[in-house]
A and B are shown apart, each in its own frame.
Chain A
Amino acid sequence: MCQWWWMLNFYVCIVDSPFLWVYGVICIQLCVCDGLLHFYVCMVDALCLCVYGGCSISMCVCWMLHLYVFIVDCSISVCLWWMLYFYLFMVDHSIYVCFLCLQRLDGRQTYDYRKIKITFGTDYGCCFVDLGKTRVMAQVSCELVTPKESRPNEGIMFFNLELSPMASPAFELGRSSELLVKLNRQLERCLRNSRCIDTESLCVVSGEKVWQIRVDVHMLNHDGNLMDATSIAAIAALSHFKRPDVGIQGDVVTVYSAQERDPIALSIYHMPICVSFSFFQQGTYLLVDPCEREERVMDGLLMIAMNKHREICSIQSSGGIMLLKEQVLRCSKIASVKVSEITDLIAKALENDKKARKEGRKCGFAESMPQERITALKNLETTVEMTDLTKQASDIVEGVETPAEMALSPVVPAPGVGQVGAGLQNAWGLEDEEDEEEEVDGDEPEVTIVAEKRGNKKKGERPVVIISDSEEEEVVILNPESS
C-alpha cells in the first residue's frame, strides 16, 4: 500500500509543484511511519500539499497535525517531523508568515500606504497629490481641435509627464529616460485604454471640432512610487475639471466663457487607480507602496490598475521576476481593497472642494497648507527602535531596578499645588534608550533595507517601540519653606 502511495507522490513531484523535496519528505515519512494515526496524518499532509501547493496554509495544517500526533503518541520521529515543518513554515515563500516581524524603514506594515493628501487649486482641473513625501501635480486643460480621421466623433485625450531635476538628482532635463516612457505608457493605458472618460460627449461638430483634453503631470518630489501618485493626481484632476460650455446655432459654434455660462464637468464612468507592488528576493517579500530606498533595491515591480468595481484596467510587471499565479491573484485582491479606500478619499476631497466653493470660502493651495506653529507637536513618522532587538523581555525586567515605593497620599508643599510622586524615584518605567533610525553603509556595495536584515533573524520578537523622554527635566517648585 505504501509503495503505491509513494509512486503517486513521485508522479505528482515530477508533473507539478516546485516543492519537490517536500513531497520527497512525505514519501520517506510514509515509508517509516509507525501507527495508523501517523499514517492518516501523512495522507492528510500530502493531500494538503497537493491541493494548496507550498503555501503556508498547508504548512500550518501539517504542523498542527504533527503537533497533535506528537502530543498523543510522544514519538521522537513525529517530533522531528514537527520541527521540520516548523522550519518550513518559517522559510515559506508565502507572505502570511505572521511571527516573523519584518519591519519597513518608516515603520509601516507590508500593505500600508503612506499618508495620501489631495488638494485642488483655484482653477478647475489643478490637483496636487502628496503620497508621503512624493509630490505630484496634475493640470488638465482643453482645446478645440480637429478629430482623428478614424474617429470623427470622439474627443482626444493627451497625456504628458514631466520628470525634472526638481524631483530627484537622478533625473536629467531633456533626456527621455526609460522611467519617463514607462510612466507615460502606463498612464495612457490606465486612463485612455480603459475608457474611463466618455470621449463621445467631447464631440462638438462631428468630423470638424472636438475637445482635446490634455493632462500634464509634473513630478515635484520623488520619494518612491511615482506611478500611484500620478494616477491618483490624473484622475482627481480629471474629475475636478470643468470644460467651457458650447452652443451651436446652425453653423456657428459659440464657446461660452466661464462668466457667461457655467462650465461643465467631464463625464467619468469609473476611476482607475494604479497600485504598485514591489518584490524582493525573487518574489519572497512583497511591499505595497515602496518608498525611494525600497525602490532602489527591489527586484521587480507589479503595477495593477483597477477601479472600485473590481475591474482590472491594466497590469504591468517589470524587472523580470517570475511571479506565481497565486501571487498575482493575491496582489489583485489587495489592490481592490486599496483602490476602494483611495477612491473614497478622492471622492471626499472633491466633495470638500465643492462645498468650499459653493459656500464662497477661499479654496486653493494656500488655504490647504498646514499652519506651522511652534506649539503644534505633530510627528507623522513613528521612530522605530532599530538597535539591539535581541534583548529578551526577561533581560529587560532583570536589568531594571525595583521601583521605589509609592507615596500613599500626595504631598502638598503649598496650598493649591500638588505633586505626583514628590521626592521619590521616577516610577513611570520609561527607559532612557535612544531610538534611532540609522543605516550604516558598510563595505557591501549594495544598500540593504532593514526588511532583509530582519529576515535573517531566527524566531522573531516584536521590536519594542520605546519613546525616549530624555529631554524631560525635573520640575522644581520654588518655595520659601522647602529647599
Chain B
Amino acid sequence: MNKGPTGRHSSHGSKDLVVPGDVITTDTGFMRGHGTYLDDDNLTASVAGEVERVDKLICVKPLKTRFNGEVGDVVVGRITEVQQKRWKVETNSRLDSVLLLSSVNLPGGELRRRCAEDELTMRSYLQEGDLISAEVQSVYADGALLLHTRSLKYGKLGQGVLVQISPSLIKRQKTHFHHLPCGASIILGNNGFVWLYPTPGQQDEEAGGFFTSLEPISLSDREVISRLRNCLLALSAHKVLLYDTSVLYCYEVSLSQQVKDILKPEVMEEIVMMTQQKLVEHEG
C-alpha cells in the first residue's frame, strides 16, 4: 500500500484513519511521531486512530487511549493515596498523578508557609476517595502529571455526579467550567471525567478550596443532573465530541423523553441523531 500522507485541512476534509500495521507512507523524508514506527523504511502505524501531519512530522492520534496530560489541562481526579507531603490522584492516565501539599490552597490564606503540622493534618483536607478538580502544572519524565489547585475555582468537589468517558471525546476549549442554563453546572475534565453538580448560589462562589456544602439538593436539581448524566452517556456511546453546546442541545432534545428512557439504545440513537442535526444547523 503506497500512499502518501494526507493531512487534515479542515474539519470536513478527508480524515485518514489507520489501524495498527497500516503503512502510512514509504517516503523516508518524514519524522515519525507518536503512534508510529519504522518497519523496513515504511512508516507504519502502531495504534488505531487518525493520521496527523504537521509539516514534516507524522503522528497517529489514537481513538481510544489513556489520558495523556499536557500543561494547562483541567482534570477531575480521585485521591487514592495520602503520602508524605503529597497526594496521589487517579486521573485515568498511565500513572497516578501527583498533587503536592505546596500546590494546594490551605484554608486560612494562600501564602502561608507549610509547616510540619500541615503535613500531619493532610488527611483532614483531602482523604482517600475525595474528588478534586485541578490543573496540570507539569509532566514528569516518566509521564506522571503534576497537578495544582492554586485557584479558587479548583479544589475539592462536593455533591454531584461523576461520569467516566473516554478522554478523546472531550473537546479542548478555552474553559472547561460551564454553568448550563438548564440549571446545573458541569466540569468537563480533559481526562474524561465529567463532573455534574448543582449550580452553587452566589455566596458559595467565593468559598472555593475545601469548603463543601452538605445541604440537601432539591428534587428538580437532581432530575436535571440525572438527565444530563444520561445524555452524556448517550453522546459518548455514539462517539460525539463533548463540549458545552453539544451537551446542552442533547439535553434540550431529550426533554421529550423520560430520564430513564434515555438509556435505551433506540431512544439513544434518536436523541443523538437529532443533536447532531441541531449542531450542524447552528454551527454550519
Contacts and interface: CB of A to CB of B under 8 A. Distances in A.
A169 B264 contact: no
A446 to B, nearest CB: 5
Contact of A165 (B80, B95, B162): B95
A169 B130 contact: no
Contacts of B96: 169-170
A442 B161 contact: yes
Contacts of B93: 169
A165 B96 CA distance: 9
Nearest to A166: B94
B277 interface: no
Interface in A144-192: 165, 169-170, 172-173
Interface range on chain B (Cβ under 8 Å from partner):
20 to 34
B90 A443 contact: no
A165 B159 contact: no
Contacts of A436: 263
Contacts of B160: 442-443
Contacts of A471: 265
Contact of B127 (A172, A440, A445): A445
B90 A170 contact: yes
B229 interface: yes
A470 B129 contact: no
B263 A434 contact: yes
B260 interface: yes
Contacts of A468: 265
Nearest to A446: B129
Contacts of A388: 260
Residue with the greatest number of chain B CB neighbours at <10 A, chosen from A440, A445, A471 = A445
A470 B264 CA distance: 9
B158 interface: yes
Most buried by B among A172, A434, A443, A445: A443
B110 to A, nearest CB: 25
A432 B129 contact: no
B61 interface: no
Given A169-B90, A170-B80, A170-B90, A434 B264 contact: yes
Contact of A432 (B95, B131, B161, B264): B264
Contacts of B130: 445
B266 interface: yes
Interface string A402-442: 00000000000000000000000000000011101000111
B106 to A, nearest CB: 20
Given A440-B161, A468-B265, A471-B265, 4 more contacts: A165-B94, A170-B80, A441-B162, A470-B264
Interface of B: 80-81, 88, 90, 93-96, 127, 129-131, 142, 158-162, 229, 260, 263-266
